[in-house]
Amino acid sequence: MPLVPLNGVRLHLDVTGPDDGPLAVLVMGTGSRGRVWNLHQVPALVRAGYRVATFDNRGIAPSDECATGFTIDDMVADTAAVIEHLGGGPAAVIGTSLGARITQELALARPDLVRCAVALAAHARIDPVGRTLSAGERALHDAGTSLPATYQAAIAAHLNLSPATMRNEVAVQDWLDLFEMGGPGVTPGVRAQLALSENVDRRAAYAAIRVPVLAVGFADDRLIAPWLAAEVAAIVPGARHGEIPDCGHVGYLERPDAVNAVILEFLAGAAQPDAVQAAHSRA
């Protein structure tokens, strides 16, 4: 689909699946395009009968980069605008990493638009190592420092993949090639997204979420530790928790069948009226 004007910006939006299917909106993480979902999650959801929307977050071309900066509230409002543009929901909303945070914030701010929420690499805060890494990436960008593509690929592999994948020399070489071809790195729009990881702590706020939530951690995630997902599940009333073994930060690509299975099982249960009513009635 072409760029769609929503919430004061232009968002590149794509919709797949039956027109009369329940709506599922997928929200990607920092620095990645929405089309990444097309490899595994979109086909699985379409086979399950969902009408699936993916989009490039502000900061990621061809959506508006908004290089001068934006807030998490802006990105939450973008996602809300996508749902309203597609009929108003309520929708199943699935996000990963920064997209998980957007999903959680949307469930809090606009529960009328969220039937249920799946947060992959869920977190209510960023740990000190994550904050320091983000600050370092921003500093490299601000200094105009460009690292060799092969070095960037090796660092991306260490940060994003599990030891199980790293032990497979054929598989890890494919990943290294993919990371090396992965794009321009930290653009001004991605720099603006990275700034959103500064001083985040939403533990107190998330106790007020009242929609069904599944918080998923990836067992070998070095960027957002799996215990942060367990923390979200403990905070949000009635939330479910899942942890996927043998995968890192891109677990939805490393072990897509396992990730898709927990997503679809949760969505099927959350579709039951008694589950939705129970979530909304929690004290």
Torsion of CA 114, 258, 154, 147, to 10 degrees: -10
Whole-angstrom Cα Rg for the chain = 18
Quote the Cα angle for 46-42-149, to 5°: 165
Label residue 26 left, alpha or beta by phi (over 0 means left) and psi (-120 to 50 means alpha). Answer: beta
Take residue 166 and report the two structure tokens written for it: 């790293």
Catalytic positions: 97, 221, 249
Q: Which residues of 22-50 are buried (b: 16+ CB within 10 A; e: fewer)?
A: bbbbbbbbbbbbbebbeebbbbbbbebeb
Residue 23 is inside which H or E element, if any?
strand 23-27
Q: What share of the chain is helix, strand, coil (3-state, %, to 5)?
A: 50, 15, 35
Distance between CA atoms of 217 and 220, rounded to whole angstroms?
Answer: 9
Which DSSP string corresponds to 194-229? HGGGTT-B-HHHHTT--S-EEEEEETT-SSS-HHHH
Label residue 31 left, alpha or beta by phi (over 0 means left) and psi (-120 to 50 means alpha). Answer: left
Best CA proximity match to 176, nearest among 200, 158, 197, 194: 158
